[in-house]
Every structure is written in C-alpha cells, then in structure tokens.
C-alpha cells in the first residue's frame, strides 16, 4: 500500500466569472504562435473558447492523500543512498549541471572513470517533432525589461515562460538520472556567488534545484505501468523532503553540491589553472615578480615564447607544481570602445607578436632561444612592465568570448605531452565543446571525487563532502599526469 486517504476533504463551488465567447470557430485555420513549431497552422473540429474553465459553473472536490506514507523517514536517507552508491559505484554516472554565461543551463554526463558520455545545452528543449529555443525566447522577452516593469502582463509572461522552462529542464534531468543511473551535481551558489555574468539569476537557478528536489522526491513517469518501477505505485524516491537549502547542506539523496570555483577556467587536458594573477603595481614589484620565473625564453622550433615556473615560488597558492605556459595562439580581449559610445567591444590579440614587438622596442635579444629573464628584470621603464604584464595576462586567459555573439571558447596555454594546446573549437566530441561545457565537465569531476570518497569510505565513518581547492587541483592533474609538462 502506497497511498493513504486523509480526512478533512473539502467541496468548493466556483461560479462562472466571464461570458462564454468563441475565440476560434471550428474548422478555421489558426496560426501557431510557436515559431519553432514546424506545423504553422492548426485545425480543430470544434470551437475554441479562451479560458473556457471560467465560463462555466464548477464544483471541485479536494481530497488530501499522503503518498508513500509507509516510508521510514528522511533522517538516514542520505546514508542509505551513499551505502547503495558505495556498492554500485562503478555503474554510476555523474550528471553535472552548470549555469552558463552563454547557456541558460548546460549539462555533462560522465561515467565512473570521468569520460564524457553526453554533453548538451538546455537552451533548446523538445523532441524530434518540435524543439523550443527558450534561450532566444527569454532573451527577446527580457530585452524590453524597463517597459516590462511597468506592465504586469509582461511580468507575468516572463514569469510563466521561466516556470515553463524550468519544468521542462527538470523533466529532462529526471529522465537522464533514470536512464543512466546517475547522481546529480550542482554548484553550491550559497558561497562565493558572483552576480551579473549569467543568463539565469541565482533565484531562478535555485528554483530549478528546488523543483528538481521535489520532483525526485516522488518520481513518476506517466507512461510507465502503475505497478512497474516509475509507475504511480512504485515511484522512485531519490531525494529527501525539501525544507531549506541551509538545512539541506551538501547532499539530498542523489543530488550533491560542490564548490563553484575553478570549473570553467581550467585546462581539461593538463589540469592547469591560473593562480598567478599578474598585476602591475610598480617597477620594483614587477622585477620581483618576473624574477620568480625559472626561465623565460623564445622556443625556436615552435615559434612562441615560454614562461617556466614553480607555483611554490609565488607564495601560498592552492595550485602546485612546475608548469610551462606558452604564448601560443590568439586571445579575445573585451574592452569599452570609446569609438562606439563606450559600449563593450572585442579585439583579437596575438601574444607572441606583441611580445616580439615589445622586446624589439627595448632592444632585448631573444632570437637565439636563450633565457631572457635577467634582461627583463634589468629594465626600469614603467611602460615596459605594464605592457609585459598585460601580455602575460592575455597568455593566461583561457576563456575567450566575443561581445554580441555566441562565441565562447577555451584555449590552454599549456601543451600536452604531444605538444598540442587544448582548444575547444577543435576538440573531439568526448571533450568540452566550449567554456560553459568545460564548467559543467569540471563540476562533474568534483562529483566524481565525491563518488570515489563514497566508494572508499570506511563503514561507520562520517563521509566528508567538503572539497578543498588543493584536493581538487591534485585530483584533476593526477588524472592527466601523462599530459603535464
């Protein structure tokens, strides 16, 4: 027995509130509002009446029921889930959801070894017959934000559109969870949250999480037979009942929360992450900063500059180890363009060419491949170090986006063992396809860390779900140790 009939049933009567008026007569073509629908017109054999339910008197019978009333309670629910995951860890997938800068939401599905099985955007949702581009629809609605603030009807349209979008995303996530036997991993936005860069606000994103938690709390698929798994009498219970995000902590059933930092701006091949943060302050501080590099030289064979360093020489950094970064490729720099009314614009820069010009301007010889660190540190011109710092920052910039476009790619300054630099524009299908995809992928790798902890946790010992940056960097870099320079 699954359902219990409760007392305090109620009967309501609602009188007709609007007159019955035919909106669309039968057998007349009606243009479809959804431009994504391949079927441009619809025909009906009967009259259509807008808000028909309010044109008639109605009786409503409300009868409260309790679902799954024999459940043992939620106190040890997370422990039960973790125990099951411990036994089945090798068969579990990780579904990570990232709230992106170019995507409303992006997901990556990885297996228990960290291999990408699927990755896609939630901008467009639908089936083979019809897909809806919610990204474009919401962007169009929110363009006229100022007039929307003065028009309650527009506000309601925006709200309804977001509600509809979230319910669609929740349904898609639920299907993936069951199909791939997956846990779900979100960023913990309660800590270190930064506003203003994302397509979906924090409140809306948390609403998605809350809706998913409630959906997975008693998951039923309407097409499943009532007595089969996922049917009304054998629903999936994958989360504990929701109270508040604060009380929930870092886990509720199959949903886990991981720190939000260092997910999109990290090389998926070598695990390199920028923690140098070059900043020009003064000539003396710049001389001190560049003196900490092990070697700065021009690679004659490759045709680019290399900066070799050890993070331990740059103070207390979470990132560790020796690295060689290169001026390979180009970068996109966003700036306020005074020629375009100080609106945002993008220019493409080539660090190698800029560094060649700077060194030539200051008569620093680099063409023989020797180390030029001493020559650099021997300079005393403010403009030299300001420009050099700017070039180094562009080399370290992994995420590159073009203003007003969907272009948002990731390029690594660190070569793999084969001398190749990861570039998401040319990445194979089993690697992140853009910067948002890289964010979702590394959220998934943090989820994989938790899965390994669950698998190796000793019985009776409290499970540690806290992930420190040092642990995360070590985990990612050790997975790709053969690729590290």
Q: Quote the number of domains for the chain.
A: 3
Sign of CA dihedral 130, 96, 234, 250: negative
Over the stretch 9-35, which tens digit does the pLDDT of each residue have? 999 999 999 999 999 999 888 888 777
Q: Quick check: is 24 catalytic?
A: yes
Active site residue 279: no
The one catalytic residue among 35, 50, 357, 382: 50
Buried b (16+ CB within 10 A) or exposed e, 459-470: eeeeeebebeee
Of 65, 94, 114, the position where a domain reaches its end is 65
> Token pair for residue 409?
């790619």
In a shared domain, residues 124 and 261: yes
Q: Are residues 93 and 174 in the same domain?
A: yes
Task: Pick the closest to residue 117 from 136, 100, 93 (CA basis).
Answer: 93
Distance CA 39, CA 32 (A): 7
From CA 321, how far away is CA 485, in angstroms rounded?
Answer: 10
CB burial of 430-444 (b: ≥16 within 10 Å; e: otherwise) equals ebbbbbbbbbbbbbb
pLDDT value at position 151?
61
Looking at the structure, do residues 219 and 313 belong to the same domain, yes or no? no
Tokens representing residue 483 in the block: 């690729």
- CA 227 to chain centroid, in Å, comes to 36
Instruction: Give the C-alpha distances (Å, rounded to integers) separating 245 from 173, 177, 447.
Output: 20, 21, 19
Note whether residue 343 is domain-resident: yes
User: pLDDT tens, 451-475?
Assistant: 999 999 988 788 999 999 999 999 9
The verdict on residue 274 lying in a domain is no
User: Under a CB-based contact definition with an 8 Å cutoff, are residues 23 and 50 in contact?
Assistant: yes
Catalytic site includes residue 310:
no
Distance from C-alpha of 341 to C-alpha of 353, rounded to nearest angstrom: 29
Q: Please say if 33 is a catalytic residue.
A: yes
Same domain, 244 and 320: no
| Most trustworthy range by pLDDT among 21-25, 163-167, 327-331 | 327-331
Q: If we measure between CA atoms, which residue out of 395, 323, 325 comes closest to residue 354?
A: 395
**227 and 331 co-located in one domain:** no
Domain that holds residue 214: 76-266+435-479
Q: Residue 181 in contact with residue 92, Cβ under 8 Å?
A: yes
pLDDT of residue 482: 44
Does residue 442 carry a catalytic annotation?
Answer: no
For residues 399 and 101, is the Cβ–Cβ distance under 8 A? Answer: no
Per the domain annotation, does 70 fall within a domain? no
Cα 199 to Cα 103, 122, 136, 439: the distances in Å are: 6, 12, 11, 14
* Residues 239 and 300 reside in one and the same domain: no
DSSP-assigned beta bridge partners for residue 174: none
Task: Give the CA angle between residues 339, 344, 347 to the nearest 5°.
Answer: 80
Tokens of 257: 């929360």
Q: Do 297 and 170 share a structural domain?
A: no
Query: Looking at the structure, do residues 300 and 215 belong to the same domain, yes or no?
Result: no
The answer as to whether 485 is a domain residue is no
Mean pLDDT along residues 302-319? 92
Decide if 281 is catalytic: no
Q: From the candidates 209, 306, 408, 436, which is the catalytic residue?
A: 436
Buried b (16+ CB within 10 A) or exposed e, 226-250: eeeebbbeebbbbbbebeebeebeb
Residues belonging to the chain:
485
**From the candidates 135, 187, 354, 373, which is the catalytic residue?**
187
Q: Each residue of 239-274: pLDDT tens digit? A: 998 888 888 889 999 999 999 889 999 999 999 999
Do 92 and 235 belong to one domain?
Answer: yes
Residue 484 lies in a domain: no
Active-site option among 10, 15, 33, 301: 33
First to last CA, the chain: 61
Mean pLDDT, to the nearest integer, of 183-196? 71
Higher per-residue pLDDT: 131 or 302 = 302
Mark whether 131 and 206 lie in a shared domain.
Answer: yes
In a domain, 110, yes or no: yes
- Residue 451 in domain: yes
Q: Are residues 11 and 102 in the same domain?
A: no
For residue 272, being part of any structural domain is answered with no
Q: Give the residue from 111, 112, 113, 131 showing the smallest Cα distance to 121.
A: 131
pLDDT digits (tens, 9 = 90+) for 284-308: 999 999 999 999 999 999 999 999 9
Choose the catalytic residue: 24, 171, 292, 402. Answer: 24
Dihedrals phi, psi of 347, to nearest 5 degrees: -125, 150
450 & 412 share domain:
no
**Average of pLDDT values for 65-82?**
80
């Amino acid at each position: 027995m699954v359902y219990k009939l409760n007392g305090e049933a109620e009967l309501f009567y609602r009188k007709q509130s609007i007159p019955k008026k035919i909106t669309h007569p039968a057998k007349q073509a009606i243009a479809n509002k959804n431009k994504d629908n391949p079927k441009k017109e619809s025909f009906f054999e009967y009259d259509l009446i807008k808000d028909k339910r309010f044109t008639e008197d109605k009786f409503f019978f409300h009868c409260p029921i309790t679902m799954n009333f024999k459940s043992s309670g939620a106190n040890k629910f997370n422990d039960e889930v973790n125990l099951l995951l411990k036994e089945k860890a090798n068969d579990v997938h990780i579904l990570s959801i990232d709230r992106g800068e170019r995507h409303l939401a992006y997901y990556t599905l990885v297996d228990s070894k960290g291999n990408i099985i699927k990755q896609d955007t939630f901008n467009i949702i639908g089936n083979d017959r019809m897909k809806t581009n919610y990204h474009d629809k919401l962007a169009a609605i929110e363009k006229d934000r100022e007039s929307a603030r003065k028009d309650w009807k527009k506000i309601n349209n925006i709200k309804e559109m977001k509600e509809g979008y979230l319910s669609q995303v929740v349904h898609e996530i639920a299907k993936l969870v069951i199909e791939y036997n997956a846990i779900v991993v979100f960023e913990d936005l309660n800590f270190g949250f930064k506003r203003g860069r994302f397509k979906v606000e924090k409140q809306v994103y948390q609403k998605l999480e809350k809706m998913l938690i409630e959906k997975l709390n008693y998951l039923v698929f309407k097409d499943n037979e009532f007595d089969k798994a996922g049917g009304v009498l054998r629903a999936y219970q994958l989360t504990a009942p929701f109270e508040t995000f604060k009380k929930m902590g870092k886990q509720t059933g199959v949903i886990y929360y991981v720190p939000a930092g260092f997910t999109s701006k990290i090389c998926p091949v070598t695990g390199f992450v920028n923690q140098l943060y070059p900043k020009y302050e003064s000539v003396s501080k710049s001389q001190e900063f560049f003196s900490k590099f092990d070697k700065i030289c021009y690679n004659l064979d490759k045709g680019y500059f290399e900066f070799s360093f050890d993070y331990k020489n740059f103070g207390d950094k979470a990132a560790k180890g020796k690295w060689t970064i290169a001026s390979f490729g180009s970068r996109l720099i966003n700036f306020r363009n005074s020629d375009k009314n100080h609106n945002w614009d993008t220019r493409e820069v080539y660090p190698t060419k800029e560094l060649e010009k700077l060194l030539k301007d200051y008569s620093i010889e680099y063409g023989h491949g020797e180390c030029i660190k001493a020559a650099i540190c021997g300079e005393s011109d403010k403009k030299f170090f300001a420009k050099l710092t700017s070039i180094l920052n562009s080399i370290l910039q992994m995420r590159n986006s073009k203003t007003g476009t969907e272009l948002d790619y990731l390029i690594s300054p660190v070569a793999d063992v084969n001398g190749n630099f990861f570039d998401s524009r040319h990445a194979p299908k089993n690697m992140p396809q853009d910067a948002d995809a890289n964010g979702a992928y590394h959220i998934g790798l943090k989820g994989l860390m938790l899965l390994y902890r669950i698998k190796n946790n000793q019985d009776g010992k409290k499970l540690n779900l806290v992930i420190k940056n040092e642990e995360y960097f070590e985990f990612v870099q050790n997975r790709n140790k053969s690729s590290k320079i």
